[in-house]
Amino acid sequence: MRRLVTPGMLARHVLAVALIGGFLGLGWWQVSRASAGNTLSWAYAIEWPVFAAFVAVIWFREIRDALRAERAPARAERADPVQIKPVTRSPVRVARRPVTAGNGPPDAELDAYNDYLAWLNANPGARASDYPARRGGRG
């Protein structure tokens, strides 16, 4: 419980209470505006309490985390005194073989595509339809 009364947590408690109260007040104000005939205010009358609920959830999580952190050292003292070393792994080394031409049968379609890419690289402003060797549907 000591962690809930530190200066930082006290500031969070004050901020959370102020925000929740403010958001609920704004929601009530929107209900009064909506009942006076402003139909858009019905949406805001729902939205402000949702904001208040969001702040309440975050506040609850902050309190829960502070209480868990307070109990953690007590559990660590009761834990097994054997320390587990972290596993360090070496990188996997893979042999690289250079790719050379002639490793397989010639592929006419791959060669045509590589020629097309080389032409596009040489002509950066060109469109695909400008490719001179374009035949039919594919280039």
Domain boundary among 55, 77, 99: 77
- What is the model's pLDDT at position 100? 63
Domain boundary among 77, 96, 124: 77
Which residue range is the domain that position 138 belongs to?
Answer: 108-139
Distances, alpha carbon 122 to alpha carbons 61, 113, 132, 134, in Å: 59, 14, 13, 16
pTM: 0.50
Q: What is the mean pLDDT of each run of 10 residues along the chain (139 residues)?
A: 83 95 96 92 94 96 87 62 75 74 74 88 86 62
- What is the model's pLDDT at position 139? 43
Domain boundary among 59, 77, 95: 77
- Which pLDDT tens digit goes with each residue over 99-117? 666 666 778 888 888 888 8
- What is the model's pLDDT at position 30? 94
- Structural domain includes residue 113: yes
Please tell me whether residues 73 and 122 are part of one structural domain. Answer: no
Q: What's the rounded Cα separation, in Å, for the pair 39 and 17?
A: 29
- Structural domain includes residue 91: no
Please choose, from the candidates 51, 61, 59, 44, the residue with its C-alpha nearest in 3D space to the C-alpha of residue 22. 51
- What is the model's pLDDT at position 86? 77
Domain count, the chain: 2
- Structural domain includes residue 32: yes
Q: Encoding tokens for residue 20?
A: 């929740």
Please choose, from the candidates 49, 21, 45, the residue with its C-alpha nearest in 3D space to the C-alpha of residue 34. 45
